[in-house]
Amino acid sequence: MKTSRRMFLSKSLATLSIAGASTAFGSKIWAQTSTQLGAFQIDTLSDGNLVLPGDFVFGAMPQSELGDILSRHNISREQVTPDCNLTLLRDGERTILFDAGSGPDFMQTAGKIGEAFDVLGIDPGEVTHVVFTHAHPDHLWGVMDDFDELYFYNATYLIGQAEWVYWTDPKTVETIGENRTTFAIGAQRRLLQIEDNTSFFKDDEEILPGVASRACFGHTPGHMAFELRSGAESLMVVGDAIANHHVAFEQPGWISGSDQDGEMAAQARISLLDQISTAQIPMIGFHLPYPGIGRVERAGSGFRFIP
């Protein structure tokens, strides 16, 4: 496997190739990083970033130990601004996008995929498949454009069966909790818009040639990761199963407030980190520092992310 951004494995060294732009405030609004995985061309595209209160992630964690970790990583306890990294796979026949981004209606700092597509010279109509890790706003709402029409207008959509059932259940709006009610309302509206062009899958299925599903339930009831395989090479797209580059690695068993089922998500996170560190499978994390590409190694009782 070769990469133009950084090392995936200790023996692979390559050249950086990034396109980027800035807003008037100096923040990155798009970027593109290219990687070759066997016969697959893989690009990570910046959809911008989120701005979240620290308690949304850190509130339930042991605060004294948390402070040490955040200090070492220079992370604010009061506010976090995670990057949003979309993954694009091209093989000459298919153009597959993993997650759709935030679109225009979630946060002003996110929903920037259009700029990345412009740099790549890709029209949204060229996307043949959109594969969802889960249906939170920053992963789903980008299916609709400013005119409330489908942005990827020629695409087939794929989502885990359990995830679809949860978000389209009318009871979810009433049971998800006040802080996430808009998540449920927004998900239902958008999923129903794409229903006629959507296919469903379960755990451990080859959902497309070279793309296998890997259940990581907990962040949402049906969250999925995906192993991309080409020949003898693999790469794991982890979505939000591993949602940051600090606490999630050093203390993967800690409960994160961003997860809907914290205990289940922690178990899934530990299992996934164990798998990709043992097998030395490179990974792309949706909310890891752009471009989100790296590998995982064990570090004491936890793990370490190596960009």
Q: State percent of the chain over pLDDT 70.
A: 90
- Above 50 in pLDDT, residue 259? yes
How distant, in Å, are the alpha carbons of 5, 25, 269, 299 from that of 180?
A: 36, 29, 22, 35
CA 36 from centre of chain:
19
pLDDT digits (tens, 9 = 90+) for 73-115: 999 999 999 999 999 999 999 999 999 999 999 999 999 999 9
Q: What is the DSSP string of 118-177?
A: HHHT--GGG--EEE-S--SHHHHGGGB-TTSSBSSTT-EEEEEHHHHHHHH-THHHHHS-
- Above 90 in pLDDT, residue 31? no
Q: Tokens for 276?
A: 């990709």
- Above 90 in pLDDT, residue 291? yes
Q: Which of 225, 212, 233 is nearest to 280 (CA)?
A: 233
* pLDDT class of 25 with cuts at 50, 70, 90: very low
- Above 60 in pLDDT, residue 71? yes
* pLDDT class of 32 with cuts at 50, 70, 90: confident
Annotated domain spans of the chain:
2-306
Tell me what the mean pLDDT of segment 120-142 comes to: 97
Strands 2-3 and 283-285: unpaired
* pLDDT class of 33 with cuts at 50, 70, 90: confident
Euclidean distance between CA atoms 82 and 109, whole angstroms: 11
Provide the pLDDT for residue 30. 56
Tell me what the mean pLDDT of segment 244-268 comes to: 98
Euclidean distance between CA atoms 70 and 68, whole angstroms: 6
SS (H, E, C) 238-301: EECCCCCCCHHHHCCCCCCCCCCCHHHHHHHHHHHHHHHHHHCCCEEECCCCCCCEEEEEEECC
Q: Does residue 221 contact residue 162 with C-beta atoms inside 8 Å? A: yes
Tell me what the mean pLDDT of segment 211-238 comes to: 98
Mean pLDDT computed over every residue of the chain: 91
pLDDT digits (tens, 9 = 90+) for 155-195: 999 999 999 999 999 999 999 999 999 999 999 999 999 99
Task: Determine the 3-state secondary structure of 61 from DSSP.
Answer: coil
Tell me what the mean pLDDT of segment 203-207 comes to: 98
Provide the pLDDT for residue 244. 98
- Above 80 in pLDDT, residue 28? no
Provide the pLDDT for residue 188. 98
Residue 293: beta bridge partners? 284
- Above 70 in pLDDT, residue 23? no
Task: Determine the 3-state secondary structure of 214 from DSSP.
Answer: strand
How distant, in Å, are the alpha carbons of 7, 41, 94, 119, 158 from that of 36?
A: 12, 5, 15, 19, 23
Residue 297, CB half-sphere, CA atoms under 13 Å: how many? 6
Tell me what the mean pLDDT of segment 276-283 comes to: 97
Segment holding 22, helix H or strand E:
strand 18-22
Residue 298: beta bridge partners? 303
The CATH T-level fold of domain 2-306 is Metallo-beta-lactamase; Chain A (3.60.15)
pLDDT digits (tens, 9 = 90+) for 225-251: 999 999 999 999 999 999 999 999 999
